[in-house]
């Protein structure tokens, strides 16, 4: 058990070191600079995917409103900084809290439904938000969108890269801490058997709402980071298509694993950018891939790898029973 933990820890450390060193090489060429921007956005979607993972992977509730929450986060930081005149560093936490509060309010009626119907209700909410930002130009800034002025410290793309990376690491650490806590155990119990957890005194409604609110907090963070990276927000960020994409990142990467959503988001976002030339047809493969994953590997890429490793370990220990005790 200890060996496995250390292996995961080393793997995470290696990934983090790569992410930290990579820009030093990318800085040198113009193509590299472009890729650095792509990676910055990819990591923002990784934050969004990790936030969805909390409610989808660990609590089993498929929220299809994360596009709306990312959009609300992006707009609220831009409007706070630009129109209200709040300092950026104060607006950032306020944005997360505001998005979490909106999530709490939406969770109240939505969690009266379950399974696919919860997904549909949240999707309906996303459509409402999208329609509002599309049509209410006073709020959304219309076609031109809402610009945001960044503090001097974040004016360089290298700074923004590390800024986003830092928040991705923080998000993952918080999600890890929650999942390991007693609250996370309650989430998991709802995931595996809602009726039974109610029977042993876990209020499923309350914990689902908690999981959802925390998830929205980080979706708001992803939105704020998106506004920071792009410098301008328009209504397309609130589209429900983003909800679908984030869902796909989580599922293909692997639900209920820490690394899955990150690898899914970064990998797929980068890949989609690579095959830009295919236009719309890229997403056809996306859809088919999603069906294949859910039919054959419902635990995603990382989940599948874990399964494989457990299977190999079981085979080894079956062959030499003494080894497991010794190791």
Stretch in the footprint of other proteins (CB under 8 A) among 69-77, 86-94, 108-116, 230-238: 108-116
Burial code (b: 16+ CB inside 10 Å, e: under 16) for 243-261 equals bbbbbbbbbbbbbbbbbbb
| Least distance between other proteins and beta carbon 283 (Å) | 4
Residue in 288, 308, 316, 327 binding other proteins, rule: CB under 8 A: 288
Nearer to other proteins, 64 or 92 (CB): 64
199 sits near other proteins (criterion: CB under 8 A): no
Of 73, 71, 61, nearest to 210 by C-alpha is 61
Name the residue among 268, 266, 260 with its Cα closest to residue 305.
Answer: 260
Q: How far is the CB of 161 from other proteins (least distance, A)?
A: 30
Listed ranges 35-43, 80-88, 259-267, 274-282: which one lies at the site for other proteins (CB under 8 A): 274-282
Measure CA 206 to chain center: 22
Which member of 4, 28, 83, 112 binds other proteins (CB under 8 A)? Answer: 112
Among 1, 5, 199, 295, binds other proteins (CB under 8 A): 295
Distance CA 181, CA 204 (A): 16
CB of 243 to other proteins, least distance (A): 9
Is 287 a binding residue for other proteins by CB under 8 A? The answer is yes
In angstroms, give the least distance from the CB of 291 to other proteins.
4
Tokens 């006073």 belong to 138
> Could you say which residues in the range 39-68 bind other proteins, by CB under 8 A?
60, 62
Is residue 249 part of the contact set for other proteins (CB under 8 A)? Answer: no
Q: Which is nearer to other proteins, 124 or 202 (CB)?
A: 124
Q: Using CA atoms in the order 110, 112, 114, 116, what is the torsion angle rounded to 10 degrees?
A: -40
Q: How far is the CB of 132 from other proteins (least distance, A)?
A: 8
Q: Which of residues 207-246 bind other proteins (CB under 8 A)?
A: 244
* Residues pairing with 233 in the sheet: 146
CA dist 29 and 110 (Å) reads 49
CA atoms of 69 and 161, how far apart (whole Å): 22
- 203 is a site residue for other proteins (CB under 8 A): no
Angle, helices 240-253 vs 259-274, to 10°: value is 120
DSSP assignment of 204-215, as one string? HHHHHHHHHHHH
- Min. distance of Cβ 199 from other proteins in angstroms? 17
CB 233 within 8 A of CB 224: no
Enter the tokens of residue 259.
Answer: 């690394």
Q: With contacts defined by CB under 8 A, how many residues of the chain interact with other proteins?
A: 42
Q: What is the rounded distance in angstroms from the CA atom of residue 178 to the CA atom of residue 48?
A: 16
Query: Which one among 153, 294, 308, 312 touches other proteins, defined by CB under 8 A?
Result: 294
Is 132 a binding residue for other proteins by CB under 8 A? The answer is yes
For other proteins, the binding residue among 6, 27, 29, 113 (CB under 8 A) is 113
Ramachandran angles phi, psi of 148, nearest 5°:
-140, 130
Among 15, 37, 86, 120, binds other proteins (CB under 8 A): 120
Enumerate binding residues for other proteins (CB under 8 A).
60, 62, 108-110, 112-121, 123-125, 127-128, 131-132, 135, 244, 247-248, 251, 279-284, 286-291, 294-295, 298
């Amino acid at each position: 058990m200890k060996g496995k933990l250390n292996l995961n820890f080393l793997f995470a450390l290696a990934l983090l070191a790569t992410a930290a060193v990579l820009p030093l090489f990318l800085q040198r060429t113009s193509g590299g600079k472009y890729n650095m921007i792509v990676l910055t956005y990819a990591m923002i979607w990784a934050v969004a995917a990790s936030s969805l993972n909390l409610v989808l992977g660990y609590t089993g509730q498929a929220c299809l409103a994360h596009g709306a929450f990312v959009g609300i986060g992006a707009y609220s930081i831009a409007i706070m900084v630009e129109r209200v005149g709040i300092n950026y560093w104060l607006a950032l936490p306020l944005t997360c809290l505001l998005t979490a509060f909106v999530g709490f309010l939406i969770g109240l009626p939505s969690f009266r439904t379950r399974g696919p119907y919860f997904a549909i209700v949240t999707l309906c909410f996303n459509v409402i938000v999208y329609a509002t930002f599309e049509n209410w130009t006073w709020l959304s800034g219309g076609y031109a969108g809402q610009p945001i002025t960044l503090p001097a410290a974040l004016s360089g793309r290298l700074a923004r890269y590390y800024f986003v990376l830092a928040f991705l690491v923080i998000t993952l650490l918080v999600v890890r801490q929650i999942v390991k806590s007693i609250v996370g155990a309650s989430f998991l119990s709802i995931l595996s058997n809602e009726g039974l957890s109610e029977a042993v005194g876990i209020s499923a409604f309350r914990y689902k709402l908690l999981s959802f609110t925390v998830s929205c907090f980080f979706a708001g963070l992803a939105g704020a980071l998106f506004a920071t990276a792009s410098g301008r927000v328009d209504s397309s960020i609130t589209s429900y298509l983003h909800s679908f994409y984030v869902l796909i990142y989580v599922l293909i990467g692997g639900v209920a694993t820490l690394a899955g959503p990150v690898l899914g988001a970064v990998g797929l976002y980068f890949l989609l950018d690579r095959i830009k030339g295919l236009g719309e047809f890229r997403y056809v493969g996306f859809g088919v891939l999603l069906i294949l994953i859910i039919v054959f590997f419902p635990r995603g890429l990382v989940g599948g790898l874990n399964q494989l490793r457990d299977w190999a370990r079981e085979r080894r220990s079956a062959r030499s029973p003494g080894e497991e005790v010794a190791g």
